[in-house]
Each structure stands twice: as structure tokens, then as C-alpha cells.
């Protein structure tokens, strides 16, 4: 299990990890004329490859045992360009990893009743392990109703109130993919959260709230502050943070004067900014002014290539976990040949 191994190495063998880190830092210092920072770049792109490799092995073992692949139903309603891109990325990951996907694509006019009926039929289908309804939904559809209609066992996004509630109580559940991916990254890179001050910018149901709930658990022991658009002044909270997680959705929300020296900065933001040099016409930027903030940090995620690939990797992992749960086994029960 490569993920588990690397993961464990960073935690159990901080010496080995730190030697690696020193080499990394030493190289950065040696190249100081070109690169003044010694920040560790937390590469979700690289880590997701390791995670996906393991998930792929689990999928093969699942298929050998049950004569079918784990299966994700992917529901897209409407024309939102960002949603289309996300869904394309998720299906591509399924194909690469060996997860079957059934696609349901509808135009904007789909009624709420039809969508709820579709979700019910997917809940009832024993060959569907996970259900992903891409958000946002068109305004005539009540998102809460739709999320609440998904069988919590198949809610691989981890958005259902049962899963969120269990997460808050520290019980086993499907964990929302972005916060889960962030924790996996922190673990992999040996970044401990115990007794750390963590500031989270954003209180959404899919990032900020589950992230805070995870970090306050007894296995994480962070002291968590959440800021939002009505926080009168976010600066003192950000300045105090050992670990800053920004999930706001605006560029340059976090600037270098706000960040404590040596802080760890996790940038969840995915903001499209016009860039005529790109075929798509836009470039992806985070919430953080990366160029100026990076030199002050001890570790930072890039955008793109940071949190984004980990989110997809966790969705894939959650789908295999859901498939195993529904067969009454644990992923550890699958015989994986390394």
C-alpha cells in the first residue's frame, strides 16, 4: 500500500523525512540566487498519483473478487463550464484508476422531481456504489433536498447530513473529499496539527465546516478559528495561524503581510483569471498571493497542482470504500498484491 507506507514514513520517521527536507532546503539555499524561498511545496499532484495507484490496486482486487468494478454514478445538470470541467476530470480519473462510471447528463430544464427520481433509482441499484451530483444545481432545484435524498452509504462526496453529523461526532463516515485530501497531504508531508493554531477562511458546507470539524477531533487536536465574509477583520486571525487554510474563492485574499513567518499555507481557492496565452483563455489561481507569500511560509500548496488533484483522488478512494462497505467488507480485506 504505497499511500499508507509514505504516509506512515512521514509520521513515524520524522528523521528520515527531515533529512529529505534539509536536502530540499539545502538545494533551495544553494540555488538562492534563483530562488529565495525554502518553503516546501506540498504537491497534491505528486501525492495523488501515489494515492490513485493504491486505489487502482484496490479496484483490481475488488473486480477479481466481485466480477465487476466499483461504480460511480455521475450526474451533471446544466451548462456550468466549471462543473463540466470538474466532471470531465472526475470521469478521467475513474477511467485511469479502473472505476466504472455511469453518466447522467441533463440540460438545465430537468425538473427537481425527475432528479429526485433518478437519485432514488441509483440508491436502489445494487451495482451503483457511489453517487456524485455535481454542484451547483440550477436555481429551480433545491440542492439540500437532492443531497438529502442520496443514500448516505453512497454519498461519496460526504455532503449528506448523516455523514457530516458523524464526522462532527468523530464517527466513521464518508468524509468530504477536499478536507480529507488536505489532511492526507498534511500527514504525508509530516505536518502535525496537534496544539497548532489553524485559521480557516470560509465556512462552506463542503470545505470550511468539515475541515474545522476534522481538525478539532481528538486525533488532530488543533485549535480552530473560522473566518467568513462577515468577520470584521480577518488579519489578526490569519497572522496568528500556524496553519492557514483559505477556501474563499477570490484571488489575493491572503497577502504576505498577513502571514506568520514559517506558517503552513493551504490554498483551496480555484479562481479563473483571464489569460490570453492559454488555449482555454484563462489561468487557475488560488486565493493566496503565492509569489509573495511562499517565501514566508515553511510549506505551501500551489494552484494548480495542490489541493485540486487530492480532492479527486479522495473521491476515487471514497468510491472504493463505499463499494467495499456495500459488500460488507473492509478495503483491508481486499488482497492487494504490491
Query: Has 90 been annotated as catalytic?
Result: yes
Interface pick for ligand NAP out of 89, 170, 249, 305 (rule CB under 6 A): 249
Q: CB neighbours of 324 closer than 8 A, spacing ≥ 6?
A: 62, 330, 331, 333, 334
Interface pick for ligand NAP out of 72, 191, 198, 227 (rule CB under 6 A): 227
C-alpha separations of 165 from 22, 79, 169, 292 in Å: 41, 32, 6, 38
Q: CB neighbours of 46 closer than 8 A, spacing ≥ 6?
A: none
CB of 267 to ligand NAP, least distance (A): 8
Interface pick for ligand NAP out of 10, 99, 207, 299 (rule CB under 6 A): 207
Strand partners, 131: 73
CB of 170 to ligand NAP, least distance (A): 22
| Cis ω for the linkage preceding 34 (within 30 of 0) | no
CA distance 301 to 131: 29
CB of 89 to ligand NAP, least distance (A): 10
Query: Beta strand 282-285 with 271-274: parallel, antiparallel or unpaired?
Result: antiparallel
Q: Give the binding range for ligand NAP (CB under 6 A) out of 236-244, 289-297, 307-315, 325-333.
A: 307-315
Alpha helices by DSSP H, 234-306: 235-240, 290-293
Interface pick for ligand NAP out of 78, 208, 210, 302 (rule CB under 6 A): 208
Name the closest residue to ligand NAP (Cβ).
Answer: 204
Residue among 150 and 238 whose Cβ is closer to ligand NAP:
238
Interface pick for ligand NAP out of 71, 206, 241, 245 (rule CB under 6 A): 206
**Residue list 262-301, contact with ligand NAP (CB under 6 A):** 268-271
**Residue list 12-71, contact with ligand NAP (CB under 6 A):** none
Residue of 90, 154, 166, 180 marked catalytic: 90
Burial environment of residue 214 by CB neighbours within 10 A (0 to 12, 13 to 18, 19 or more)? buried
CB of 298 to ligand NAP, least distance (A): 21
CB of 72 to ligand NAP, least distance (A): 17
CA distance 3 to 232: 41
Residue among 164 and 270 whose Cβ is closer to ligand NAP:
270
Burial environment of residue 311 by CB neighbours within 10 A (0 to 12, 13 to 18, 19 or more)? buried
> Is the sign of the CA dihedral 82, 41, 43, 333 positive or negative?
negative
The DSSP 8-state label assigned to residue 288 in this structure reads B
Burial environment of residue 227 by CB neighbours within 10 A (0 to 12, 13 to 18, 19 or more)? buried
Residue of 134, 155, 180, 187 marked catalytic: 134
Contact between 308 and ligand NAP (CB under 6 A)? yes
Binding mask 166-205 for ligand NAP (x = CB under 6 A): ------------x----------------------xxxx-
Query: Has 151 been annotated as catalytic?
Result: no
* Catalytic residue ranges: 90, 134, 157
Question: Which residues are near ligand NAP by CB under 6 A?
Answer: 178, 201-204, 206-208, 227-231, 234, 247-250, 253, 268-271, 307-308, 311
Amino acid at each position: 500500500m504505497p499511500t499508507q507506507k509514505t504516509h506512515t514514513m512521514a509520521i513515524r520517521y520524522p528523521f528520515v523525512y527531515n533529512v529529505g527536507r534539509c536536502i530540499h532546503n539545502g538545494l533551495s539555499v544553494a540555488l538562492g540566487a534563483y530562488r529565495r524561498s525554502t518553503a516546501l511545496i506540498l504537491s497534491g499532484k505528486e501525492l495523488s498519483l501515489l494515492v490513485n495507484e493504491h486505489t487502482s490496486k484496490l479496484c483490481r482486487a475488488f473486480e477479481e473478487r466481485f466480477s465487476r468494478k466499483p461504480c460511480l454514478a455521475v450526474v451533471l445538470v446544466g451548462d456550468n463550464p466549471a462543473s463540466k470541467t470538474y466532471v470531465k476530470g472526475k470521469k478521467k480519473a475513474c477511467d485511469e484508476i479502473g472505476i466504472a462510471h455511469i453518466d447522467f447528463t441533463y440540460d438545465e430544464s430537468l425538473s427537481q422531481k425527475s432528479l429526485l427520481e433518478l437519485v432514488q433509482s441509483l440508491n436502489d441499484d445494487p451495482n451503483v456504489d457511489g453517487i456524485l451530483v455535481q454542484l451547483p444545481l440550477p436555481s429551480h432545484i433545491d440542492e439540500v433536498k437532492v443531497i438529502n435524498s442520496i443514500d448516505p452509504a453512497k454519498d461519496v462526496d460526504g455532503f449528506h447530513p448523516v455523514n457530516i453529523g458523524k464526522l462532527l461526532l468523530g464517527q466513521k463516515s464518508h468524509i468530504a473529499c477536499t478536507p480529507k485530501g488536505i489532511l492526507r497531504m498534511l500527514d504525508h508531508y509530516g505536518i502535525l496539527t496537534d496544539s497548532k493554531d489553524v485559521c480557516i477562511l470560509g465556512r462552506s458546507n463542503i470545505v470550511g465546516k468539515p475541515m474545522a470539524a476534522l481538525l478539532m477531533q481528538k486525533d488532530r487536536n488543533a485549535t480552530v478559528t473560522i473566518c467568513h465574509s462577515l468577520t470584521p477583520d480577518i488579519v489578526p486571525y490569519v497572522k496568528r495561524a500556524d496553519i492557514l487554510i483559505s477556501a474563499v474563492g477570490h484571488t489575493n485574499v491572503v497577502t504576505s503581510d498577513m502571514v506568520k513567518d514559517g506558517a503552513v499555507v493551504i490554498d483551496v481557492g480555484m479562481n479563473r483569471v483571464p489569460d490570453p496565452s492559454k488555449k482555454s483563455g484563462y489561468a487557475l489561481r488560488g486565493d493566496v498571493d503565492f509569489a509573495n507569500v511562499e517565501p514566508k511560509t515553511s510549506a505551501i500548496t500551489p494552484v494548480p497542482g495542490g489541493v485540486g488533484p487530492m480532492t479527486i483522488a479522495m473521491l476515487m478512494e471514497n468510491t472504493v470504500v463505499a463499494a467495499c462497505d456495500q459488500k460488507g467488507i473492509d478495503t483491508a480485506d481486499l488482497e492487494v498484491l504490491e
